[in-house]
Structure 1
């Protein structure tokens, strides 16, 4: 799989790309190694640079997170992002029968991983904390990606895709808040984002 091409395809041509993804044979380890581990690093690294190297500031007051604290925060944020993708995939798989879909752990993981692309890529805006809101807006596109992908990968009727997406988004928000709280235990505010669909719904 060409990583750059896949990112472009899922962002720009999702309706054409989802059937290709659905037909691909893969496993969780390969999907993480070739896609999730790489893209999830974007918001973590960008957040570290933005908060610890460049710094945040407003009204003449600037702030930089100490380097060690920033590194710890980046590592924890990155780890939680990886956990988030897996947990949300379990949720998607469990919800499938309720919306007339078919359960498939690997298809659910593919759906969440690739739908998260916009949230991961939007994390690049964390390089400049003042532009973090743009990252959140880009991340919201992940909701649309999920909506277009769920009928294909989870085989739910098209007329139930919207409700499926809404229920998933609510679960994602709850999961994001829980993991955000865990992140705050390890690091002080301001926090870096947990780069995933759920986080894109809540904060950048």
Structure 2
């Protein structure tokens, strides 16, 4: 049996993006575990931005005034993609721990699997938007897609973590603020690899 059911994956992505409230209700009742979520959803979708970004930076690059088109050597791009991918897989798990830990503070129920569902499915818009990094100049659109992930997070907290609807907004705000700190730290870890990456060939035009 294939590790990822592509039809089911695409169907879930479409429904969570277009009908989030209805889909969160369905997701709430699904029996899941961490391994299944990673194998069938997180691993394939989190790969979109790293793969597209690596292709985009090596093939298309970015055109700058007075500089020309800047591209990354393939080895550098692949290294950057691998680091970003690994941190994305770690980040979604840690983000789920944050969601789970904060649940009681907003009259919710702690449940690590449910929290991982919220984290994974709310990241859908951001992950799918990663396709725009195929053309680095369009990466800003990928960032805009991430804003929709914030709404998906808000929409999923109440049904999955059993937090009252009137507490969903403050719950989401606190999760987002703590999440920002998390991803700043992960970004710092990623940046720590950049000096060594420069030795792999640097930029080329």
Normalising by structure 2, we get a TM-score of 0.90
Answering whether residue 65 of structure 2 is matched by residue 59 of structure 1, we say yes
Is the radius of gyration larger for structure 1 or structure 2? 2
Partners of 2:97 and 2:87 lie apart in 1 by 15
- For structure 1, the 5+ residue unaligned runs are 189-204
Answering whether residue 18 of structure 2 is matched by residue 3 of structure 1, we say no
Instruction: Name the counterpart of 1:38.
Output: 44
Q: Give the superposition deviation at 1:185.
A: 1.2
Instruction: Name the counterpart of 2:127.
Output: 120
Partners of 1:53 and 1:37 lie apart in 2 by 24
Instruction: Name the counterpart of 2:56.
Output: 50
Q: How many residue pairs end up in the alignment?
A: 190
- For structure 2, the 5+ residue unaligned runs are 196-205
In the TM superposition, what are the counterparts of 1:1-204 in structure 2 within 5 Å? 2-60=8-66, 61-187=68-194
Partners of 1:23 and 1:7 lie apart in 2 by 17
Q: Give the superposition deviation at 1:51.
A: 1.2
Alignment check: 8 A CA contact 1:69 1:187 kept: no
Partners of 1:33 and 1:109 lie apart in 2 by 13
Structure 1 stretches of at least 4 aligned residues deviating more than 4 Å after TM superposition: none
Partners of 1:63 and 1:145 lie apart in 2 by 35
CA-based RMSD of the aligned residues comes to 1.5
Partners of 1:21 and 1:87 lie apart in 2 by 20
Normalising by structure 1, we get a TM-score of 0.90
Q: Give the superposition deviation at 1:187.
A: 2.6
Once the two structures are overlaid, the 10-residue window that deviates more, 149-158 or 52-61, is: 52-61
Alignment check: 8 A CA contact 1:125 1:135 kept: yes
Q: Deviations over 1:77-121 (max 9, x none)?
A: 000000000000000000000000000000000000000000100
